[in-house]
Amino acid sequence: MKTEAELLALRLWLGLATAGDIDDWLDQYVNQVAEPHADALELFGLPFELEVPAFMAFVRSVFDFDPDSERGSEVAALWLAQLCAAALEGRLSVPRLCDTLARMDAQYTTPGLRAPYPRALNELRNGCDWCDETWSLDHPGHMRELLSEHVRIRSM
C-alpha cells in the first residue's frame, strides 16, 4: 500500500489526481490493511479541498513520503514507466501521455524545488517535442521504441 499511496500523493502534487482517486485508494487501503491507521479513516467524508491536504499529511506522517524529494523523483520514474506501459497497451493516447509529461516537466522546473528532475522525464519529454493530436505509437516512428525502452529499463 505504501507505493500506491506514494504514487497517488505524487499525482496529487502534480495536479493529476481527483477526489475519486483518493476515495479509491482509501477503499483499497481499508480492505487490505488489517488495522487501518486512524488518520486514514478520518479522510472519509472530507470535502476534496480538505481531503487533499489531509491525505498528503497522512502520507508524510505514515509513509514518510514527500513528492518534493529524492524519493519523489524515484516514484515519478516508476509512474512514468506505468504511463508508458499504458500507452503501449492502448489505455492512454500518445497526445495525452505527452500532455502529462509537459505538466510534470512544468512542476519539476519550478524554482526552489528540492526534488531532482527525473532523468526519464527528460528523455520522454524530448521524445514528445512537437506532439499534436495526430501522434500515435507508430507516428512518429520513434514513439513505440522510446516507450518500450523506458518500460524495459524500469522493469529491470
Sign of CA dihedral 92, 98, 102, 107: positive
Is the pLDDT score of 149 beyond 50? yes
| Torsional class of 112: left (φ above 0), alpha (ψ -120 to 50), beta (otherwise) | left
Neighbours of 148 (CB within 10 A): 15
Q: What is the largest distance, in Å, between two alpha-carbon atoms of the chain?
A: 50
Burial 14-39, CB ≥16 within 10 A → b, else e: beebeeeebeebbeebeeeeeeeeee
Percent above pLDDT 70 for the chain:
97
Which residue in 140, 148, 71, 67 sits closest to 110, CA to CA? 67
Q: For the chain, what are the domain ranges?
A: 2-63, 70-154
The chain-wide mean pLDDT, for the chain, equals: 91
List, for residues 50-66, the tens digit of each pLDDT value: 999 999 999 999 999 99
Residue for grid cell 500518445: 94
Reduced to 3 states (helix: H, G, I; strand: E, B; else coil), residue 156 is: coil
Which residue in 17, 21, 14 sits closest to 121, CA to CA? 14
- The top-scoring range by mean pLDDT among 68-72, 122-126, 149-153 is 68-72
Q: Cα separation of 54 and 56, whole Å?
A: 5
